[in-house]
Amino acid sequence: MKSYVTATAALFCLAAPALADGHASGDPAAGEKAFKQCKSCHMVADGDNVIVKGGKTGPNLYGVVGRTAGTADFKYSKDVTAAGEGGLAWDEASFVAFVQNPNDYLKEATGNDKARSKMTFKARKEEDAVNIWAYLASVGPES
């Protein structure tokens, strides 16, 4: 599994220059549909402007694009906070890898083989994760 995560990380590093301009490569409309599986735990709201009314089990995902991991108003696992303190800011590559396997991603990102996330959900398809990122980018603040 570690080699899979390493290979995925390497692939995303190669793709990073193409994604660095802040544009998402997925389909926001498909991402809005796929986000329905996320809203049981996550909301998307800019203050009183609620874009997606969802749960509060997970952090509000408004403005996640470019946000340092573990810095929104939420009680994160110590490992997510450590990843943010180590420089992890959410971009398409890190978000897609994280939502497909949060614990394995954190283990790789932090170098701690016991790292854990509070997020138990895993996106089954990479395409869904990419599209969810595109949707979140489309409803977030202008960058």
Domain with residue 66: its CATH number is: 1.10.760.10
Per-residue pLDDT at 91: 97
The overall average pLDDT reported for the chain is: 87
Which one is predicted more confidently, 91 or 2? 91
**Does 19 score more than 80 pLDDT?**
no
Per-residue pLDDT at 142: 78
Distance (Å, rounded) from C-alpha 96 to C-alpha 102?
A: 10
113-to-57, 79, 108, 123, 143 alpha-carbon distances in Å: 25, 11, 8, 21, 34
Per-residue pLDDT at 18: 39
**Does 12 score more than 80 pLDDT?**
no
**DSSP H or E stretch at residue 7:** helix 2-19
Distance (Å, rounded) from C-alpha 49 to C-alpha 93?
A: 28
Per-residue pLDDT at 74: 96
Render pLDDT for 21-55 as a digit per residue (tens, 0 to 9): 456 789 999 999 999 999 999 999 999 999 999 99
Q: Which residue has the tokens 């599994």?
A: 1
Residue type at 42? H
Distance (Å, rounded) from C-alpha 9 to C-alpha 3?
A: 10
15-to-21, 101, 109, 112 alpha-carbon distances in Å: 12, 19, 17, 25
**Tokens in use for 125?**
């398809």
Number of separate domains in the chain: 1
Render pLDDT for 91-117 as a digit per residue (tens, 0 to 9): 999 999 999 999 999 999 999 999 999
Distance (Å, rounded) from C-alpha 1 to C-alpha 44?
A: 32
Range of the domain at 121: 2-19+26-139
